[in-house]
């Protein structure tokens, strides 16, 4: 098959037997559920654009395994150009959907494992990379959505995994069998989990030798026996259950997160890619995190949508010529394009690893993600400033359509002549959705905590910035000559 259409993707989800709970009840038809469906539609767009000749160059690639044309989300980066196109693809999809489209984390997991499995094999003579490449060929041929599952609940953050009072706070091996392993635990904050065909599990932190049972990586089908999904709540999520579309803000697309519970889940050996090699756990975490920090090019695309919405709102209000409004929109564009500079830079400075996979510049990827923890919040603040208070005080679509009070809503919330009140409300609802509603999970909270906390990036920046080299340059230019032995001792 190699590539699915969006229709084939949706039909493939119907064949899954997922165990999903939301609001305390089992969801028996995940594909048609009105709260989940918009997130599935966002993923479907990654299939639709891959079939569109206009976007073929960004959305597809040539498999290094088979030579076939494949969806770029299943591709292993073979050049700097691949890394750059990944960033451009992220911005494109963010600008089309206005939300998280959920496939980046799986793509980043595949690329990280292509390197880490190779490196483990080189040191220990294992066969993880061979297993992984067979699995990758399957993912590419079937054009599957993979959920990259890294974040454990963690329990008491002051304690390592092996000292937790409940060992399931970090996913771990509980039984080894001749045909595979049995695992228990959970993975939290899993974006797009119930829209995925496969779950790729990775460790969440660097493990010590005492934590070797937690140093595991594997892949299982998303409907494997013993896996349960518990959907997370989002602001304004139940608006999707109401008649009409205006109050949703984003009419077509959305995202979701879930807790994935692994209750004695069996994993065959052919799908195990790390097994107790604790010394490579941090290696995998760092490589995945660097790729995923690059992936926040998607926020630039969502920023494009938000800036467009704010410009429209200003024009509807008759305020677009005010100097302070123009200056704020310039600032929003400046911040958004600065984010784009970061994701393109870490891709352009990428390099080839021994496995053959191309890897981003780790320092620049962390700098980019550090900016992502800040700039979208300022962009959102400026958006709310320009939008005005009606964004959060506006009556509902039902009031607008009411035979009793609709005339008053249309009369008193009208702005510039010639602009229907409904249009003004719709654009304000979109701004609300991105900065406060369901999309704010992806645009703001995920910008802060996704791909690791802000402090995790600062630690990496401190480690990689090569302060000593900067000092040596400064001292040379200043004419400072030091006794190197004395400096070393100090």
Instruction: Output the DSSP codes for 436-452.
Output: TSTHHIIIIIHHHHTTS
Which of 257, 277, 286, 397 is the catalytic position? 257
Helices (H), 15-127: 37-50, 56-59, 80-97, 104-124
pLDDT digits (tens, 9 = 90+) for 438-478: 888 889 988 999 888 899 999 999 999 999 999 999 999 99
What's the length of the chain? 490
292 is known as an active-site residue: yes
pLDDT at 25 over 90: yes
Q: Which of 172, 197, 292, 368 is catalytic?
A: 292
**Residue 446 among the catalytic residues:** yes
List, in sequence order, every residue forming a beta bridge with 266; answer none if it has no partner. 182
pTM listed for this prediction: 0.95
pLDDT at residue 488, rounded to an integer? 66
Cα–Cα nearest to 43, from 298, 354, 229, 352: 298
> Among residues 104, 146, 343, 346, which one is catalytic?
104
Quote the percentage of the chain above a pLDDT of 70: 99
> At a CB cut-off of 8 Å and minimum separation 6, what does 137 contact?
65, 66
Are 83 and 294 in contact by the 8 Å Cβ rule? The answer is yes
Cα 85 to Cα 59: distance, rounded to the nearest angstrom: 8
Residue 70: pLDDT band (50, 70, 90) is very high
User: 56 catalytic, yes or no?
Assistant: no
Q: Find the catalytic residue in 191, 204, 224, 362.
A: 191
CA–CA separation, 26 and 59 (whole Å): 35
Q: What is the pLDDT of residue 439?
A: 86
Residue 490 has pLDDT above 80, yes or no: no
296 is catalytic: yes
d(CA 71, CA 164): 41
Q: Which helix (H) or strand (E) holds 141?
A: helix 128-142
Sorted by where each begins, the domain ranges of the chain are: 294-469
User: What is the crossing angle of helices 104-124 and 128-142, to 10°?
Assistant: 160
- What pLDDT score does 482 carry? 86
Determine whether 146 is an active site residue: no
Of 198, 277, 397, 446, the active-site residue reads 446
Which secondary-structure segment (H or E) carries 258? strand 257-268
Q: Choose, from 99, 100, 146, 343, the residue flagged as catalytic.
A: 100
CATH architecture classification, 294-469: Up-down Bundle (1.20)
Active-site residue, 472 included = no
Q: What is the pLDDT of residue 272?
A: 98
* pLDDT tens digits along 141-183: 999 999 999 999 999 999 999 999 999 999 999 999 999 999 9
CB 400 within 8 A of CB 246: yes
State what percent of residues in the chain have pLDDT above 90.
94
Per-residue model confidence (pLDDT) at position 489: 66
CB 461 within 8 A of CB 367: yes
Expressed in percent and rounded to 5, the helix, strand and coil fractions of the chain are: 55, 15, 30
**Alpha-carbon distances of 183 from 67, 203, 218, 234, 273, rounded to whole Å:** 35, 13, 10, 29, 14
Sign (positive or negative) of CA dihedral 332, 338, 339, 341: positive
Alpha carbons within 13 A on the beta-carbon side of 98: 24
> Which letter does DSSP use for residue 270 in this model?
G
């Amino acid at each position: 098959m190699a590539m699915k259409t969006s229709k084939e993707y949706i039909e493939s989800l119907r064949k899954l037997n997922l165990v999903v709970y939301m609001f305390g009840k089992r969801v028996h038809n995940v594909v048609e559920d009105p709260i989940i469906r918009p997130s599935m539609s966002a993923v479907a767009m990654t299939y639709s654009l891959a079939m569109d000749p206009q976007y073929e160059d960004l959305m597809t690639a040539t498999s290094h395994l088979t030579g076939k044309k494949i969806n770029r989300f299943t591709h292993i980066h073979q050049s700097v150009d691949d890394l750059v196109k990944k960033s451009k693809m992220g911005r494109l999809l963010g600008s089309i959907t206005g939300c998280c489209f959920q496939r980046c984390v799986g793509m980043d997991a595949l690329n990280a494992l292509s390197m880490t499995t190779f490196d483990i094999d080189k040191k220990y003579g294992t066969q993880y990379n061979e297993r992984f490449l067979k699995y990758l060929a399957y993912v590419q041929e079937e054009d599957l959505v993979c959920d990259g599952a890294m974040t454990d609940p963690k329990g008491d953050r002051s304690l390592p995994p092996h000292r937790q009072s409940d060992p399931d706070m970090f996913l771990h091996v509980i039984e080894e069998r001749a045909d595979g392993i049995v695992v228990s635990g959970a993975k939290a904050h899993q974006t797009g989990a119930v829209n995925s065909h496969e779950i790729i599990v990775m460790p969440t932190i660097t493990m010590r030798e005492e934590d070797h049972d937690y140093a595991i990586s594997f892949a299982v089908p998303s409907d494997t026996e013993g896996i349960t999904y518990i959907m997370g709540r989002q602001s304004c999520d139940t608006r999707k259950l109401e008649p009409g579309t205006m109050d949703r803000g984003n009419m077509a697309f959305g995202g979701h997160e879930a807790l994935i519970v692994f209750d004695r889940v069996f994993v065959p050996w052919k799908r195990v890619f790390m097994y107790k090699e604790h010394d490579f756990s941090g290696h995998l975490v760092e490589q995945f995190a660097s790729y995923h920090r690059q992936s926040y090019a998607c926020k630039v695309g969502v920023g494009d949508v938000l800036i467009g919405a704010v410009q429209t709102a200003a024009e509807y209000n008759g305020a677009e010529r005010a100097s302070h409004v123009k200056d704020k929109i310039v600032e929003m564009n400046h911040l958004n394009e600065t984010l784009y500079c970061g994701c393109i830079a870490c891709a352009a400075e990428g390099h080839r690893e021994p496995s053959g996979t191309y890897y981003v510049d780790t320092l620049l990827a962390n700098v980019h993600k550090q900016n992502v923890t800040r700039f979208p919040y300022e962009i959102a603040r400026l958006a709310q400033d320009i939008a005005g208070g009606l964004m959060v005080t506006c009556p509902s679509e039902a009031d607008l359509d009411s035979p009793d009070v609709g005339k008053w809503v249309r009369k008193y919330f009208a702005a510039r002549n010639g602009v229907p009140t409904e249009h003004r409300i719709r654009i304000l609802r979109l701004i609300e959705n991105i900065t406060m509603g369901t999309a704010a999970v992806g645009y703001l909270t995920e910008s802060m905590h996704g791909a690791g906390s802000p402090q995790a990036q600062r630690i990496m920046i401190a480690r990689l910035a090569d302060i000593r080299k900067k000092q040596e340059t400064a001292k040379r230019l200043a004419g400072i000559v030091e006794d190197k032995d004395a400096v070393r001792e100090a």
